[in-house]
Amino acid sequence: MMSSPALAASSSLLPFNCRAKHCAGLFPSFLRKCGTKITLSASSQQIGFRFAIASSAPGSNGSVKDLSEAETAPQLYSWPDKKKPRICILGGGFGGLYTALRLESLEWPDDKKPQVLLVDQSERFVFKPMLYELLTGEVDAWEIAPRFLDLLANTSVLFYQDKAKLLYPSDHYGPTQSSLGGTVLLESGLLVEYDWLVLALGAESKLDVVPGAVEFALPFSTLEDAHKVDRKLRTLERKNFRKESLIRVVVVGCGYSGVELAATVSERLQDRGIVQAINVETTICPNAPPGNREAAIKVLTSRKVELLLGYVVRCIRKAVDAEHDSEKYILELQPAQRGSQSQTVEADLVLWTVGNKSLLPKLEPEDRPHELPLNARGQAETDENLRVKGHPRIFAVGDSCALRESNGRLLPATAQVAFQQADFAGWNLWAAINDRPLLPFKFQNLGEMITLGRNDAAISPSFIEGLTLEGPIGHTARKLAYLIRLPTDEHRLKVGISWLTKSAIDSVASLQSTLTKVLSNS
């Protein structure tokens, strides 16, 4: 792991070797802020920079300052080994973390085992398919959101908590044998040179498509989102304790995420609340296997979740409820098709599960737009080997990757796809570094799972057509499947023991409750 001395070393501005034409365009957006005239000096052996700025601001008289006096210069990350290949992975989700672990598991020649740096803005990896269990108290945060440093403690993978800001690839300047793949500028000012890059930045919730959604709706895609929703529900539960008024929750979107959220919240609130789910389609989970969709409809109906299908949210506005001294939100709904009436819905809490946007466009510098070949969704176009088109030293996985199946459809942005792409990306990096043929990615659909509450789920495995496991059986099978998918053996063992302990405690409590009822009736 990266020790404190290593981190300190990475914070020093060191001379570095690279092509002069690459260096000339390295900091354009940064330098524009500094003034109109820039003096650069470099040694003959290594290109070590010293910047001086001639300011053109009124009253400056063209005075020259060292860059350190005007604005902190980018600082070069110091890799531990100057000779071994350097792989930088941006993003620590399913695609990024699992690529790093795959690279660690492979057999490498001593002189070719790469240095792997994983960069993520969070200190924790989040197993997103199980965020819903945080709302029911079924899992603890450490089980589904372990720290990267803990997960990577027994590996050679380095971790740096930061956020990627700008990307300057140079592998398209010359042949693929170039000694430098490119450079990444992080928000902290740290500059990371790489030989190989993996884009695994994922996506973020897209709320800015409807007026009021950014201000008044809560997304549910990160650990912070889950904590915010849990805190809001706790606040509403306290305010409405022993009151006749019901807590009204509206979920926008009825894809997998929306349905799972509606089922989870309705189970938590029970008779203390009303959950409404809005969807532009006339059905829920339109792309799900029929068994999963039918199981979800059955559960939502039993919990009296009101489905508003065939509607789009036109806007969200806040309304103050003076009588109950609380904030409420009004959603104006417009029918997606003619023949239905517009309507308004009132809510104490609005949960947003519609739409995601890629984080890749934010990486492109202003002076070099369209550096990466991105599709309309902001995902990088890749070849069948997961390499970004036109950039043989850059791979993209998960939500950052735009790869089509044989039928021409884009692969879905799911955890299952990211898992499998990480496996191929790790292998293909090994193959590229060792001059071996790369493998084309082939997605194998293993089936689909949906959680429907504390002891309810549905699973439709792809290898048995028409089979759906639902209820407690589906719930147990889903948890076992995800336990196997947790990142490391050590973490799987800890979580497995924790879940077994909780299950034993719940079983004893259930037995005691049953005995109490029997004895009281006898």
SS (H, E, C) 10-45: HCCCCCECCCHHHHHCCCHHHHCCCCCEEEEECCCC
Only one residue has tokens 């305010």, namely 239
Quick one: 249 and 175 in the same domain? Answer: no
pLDDT at res. 461: 93
pLDDT band per the 50, 70, 90 thresholds, residue 324:
low
Q: Which among 189, 97, 184, 207 has a CA at the least distance from the CA of 363?
A: 184
Residue 319 lies inside a defined structural domain of this protein: yes
Say if 240 falls within a structural domain.
Answer: yes
How much is the pLDDT for 321? Answer: 62
Tell me the average pLDDT across 445-459: 94
Query: Average pLDDT in the 364-383 region?
Result: 86
274/336 same-domain check: yes
Q: What backbone phi and psi angles, to 5 degrees, belong to 344? A: -120, 150
Q: Give the confidence band of 157 by pLDDT, cuts at 50, 70, 90.
A: very high
Buried-state track 237-256, b at ≥16 Cβ within 10 A, e below 16: eeebeeeeeebbbbbbbbbb
Single residue among 337, 354, 371 that ends a domain in this structure: 354
In angstroms, the CA 469 to CA 454 distance is 16
Q: Is residue 120 part of a domain?
A: yes
pLDDT of residue 183: 94
pLDDT at 58 over 60: no
Whether residues 266 and 336 fall in one domain = yes
Instruction: Report yes or no on 145 lying in a domain.
Output: yes
The mean pLDDT of 507-521, rounded to a whole number, is 73
Does one domain contain both 411 and 391? yes
Mean pLDDT of the chain: 84
- In a shared domain, residues 402 and 429: yes
Within this chain, do residues 350 and 382 fall inside the same structural domain, yes or no? no
| Residues 467/460, Cβ–Cβ less than 8 Å | yes
Rg of the Cα atoms in the chain: 26
- Which has the minimum average pLDDT: 69-83, 228-242, 294-308, 505-519? 505-519
Choose the weakest-confidence range: 28-37, 244-253, 444-453: 28-37
**Is the same domain home to 344 and 362?**
no
Residue numbers of the domain that contains 243: 217-354
Helices (H) and strands (E) in the chain, counts: 15, 27
Mean pLDDT, residues 486-493 = 96
In the predicted model, is pLDDT for residue 8 greater than 50?
no
If asked whether residues 323 and 375 sit together in one domain, one would say no
More confident residue, 424 or 65: 424
pLDDT over 90 (residue 13) = no
- pLDDT band of 60, cuts 50, 70, 90: very low
Lowest mean pLDDT among 36-50, 183-197, 465-479: 36-50
CATH of residue 397? 3.50.50.60
pLDDT band for position 130 (cuts 50, 70, 90):
very high
What is the number of domains present in the chain? Answer: 2
- Average pLDDT value for residue range 253-264: 96
Residue 236: pLDDT above 50? yes
In this structure, the answer to whether residues 157 and 285 fall within a common structural domain is: no
With respect to residue 441, please indicate whether it lies within any of the assigned structural domains: no
- Over residues 82-91, the mean pLDDT reads 95
453 located within any domain:
no
Among the three residues 320, 354, 388, which one is the final residue of a domain in this structure?
Answer: 354
| 268: pLDDT strictly greater than 90 | yes
**Among residues 175, 352, 178, which one has the least CA distance to residue 249?**
352
Residue in 365, 362, 368 with CA at minimum distance from that of residue 380: 362
User: Is the predicted pLDDT of residue 356 greater than 60, yes or no?
Assistant: yes
Give the pLDDT score at 72: 60
pLDDT, one tens digit per residue, over 21-46 is 344 445 444 444 333 333 333 333 33
Residue 198 and residue 160 in one domain? yes
In terms of domains, do 155 and 279 share one?
A: no
More confident residue, 50 or 108: 108
Establish if 161 belongs to a structural domain: yes
In a domain, 70, yes or no: no
Query: Looking at residue 4, what is its pLDDT?
Result: 35
Among 434, 449, 477, the domain boundary falls at 434
Tell whether 248 and 334 lie within a shared domain. Answer: yes
The Cα 176–Cα 425 span in angstroms is 17
Q: How far is CA 117 from the centre of its chain?
A: 18
- The arithmetic mean of pLDDT across residues 214-235, rounded, is 96
Q: What does the block give as tokens for 211?
A: 């007026």
- Say what percent of the chain tops pLDDT 90: 65
